[in-house]
Amino acid sequence: MDQHDQISSSNASHWAGASAIDVVDDDVGAMISLQRLRSAVAEIFTALNETLRDERSKAAECLQREEAMLETVEQPATRAPAAASRGLAPWQTRRVLTYVDSNLETPIRNRELAEVARLSEYHFNVAFRRSVGHSPHEYIIRRRMERAQGLMLSTEKALSEIAAECGLADQSHFTRLFRRVVGESPAAWRRARANPRA
């Protein structure tokens, strides 16, 4: 690994692993956007790294994933309500959201998330909704659909493979959820964005 690769890799690790300590406690919506932005920046550093290694196709895939992530950052996340003191603490929110993003390909149960936040399942569900603006189940579905969008833009994988990588039972389940969240079928969404400049 040459010096450029080492610099790019260390920068990507720094940005991807940076904590959200600097985020104001009651602004969980901004923290969610910040995490997505950091993921996008990590993809940019990975793309630069692949370009330095003359892996242009891999770099292009990274940039497509980054573009999909930035589209979700541009849409303002739901802000925490004024009664944030009854929601999750910032450390709990960070841990839970990180856990969700790390486990999207597997079933995620509310019980597991409650354990991560060190709360009872009932209190966790109420606090999560107050902090994030969605139930845990709704949030997980949205994150799975965002991951699916990134995979559809950056790979040629079949929709059934993408469904499996996003922790969904099968392609029909994926299609139903995608249509509900995005407003169109995955195939139509992908077709509309395939080679837009061609």
Helices 136-154 & 56-74, crossing angle to 10 degrees?
140
Which pLDDT does position 38 carry in this prediction?
A: 65
Domains of the chain, CATH where assigned? 1-79 (no CATH), 88-198 (1.10.10.60)
Find tokens 């940005």 and name the residue: 15
Report the C-alpha dihedral over residues 29, 35, 36, 37, rounded to 10 degrees. 100
Q: Tokens for 44?
A: 């940019």
Task: Return averaged pLDDT per consecutive 10 residues of the chain, 198 residues in all.
Answer: 46 41 47 63 62 63 58 43 64 96 94 96 94 95 95 93 92 93 93 71
pTM value is 0.57
Which pLDDT does position 29 carry in this prediction?
A: 59
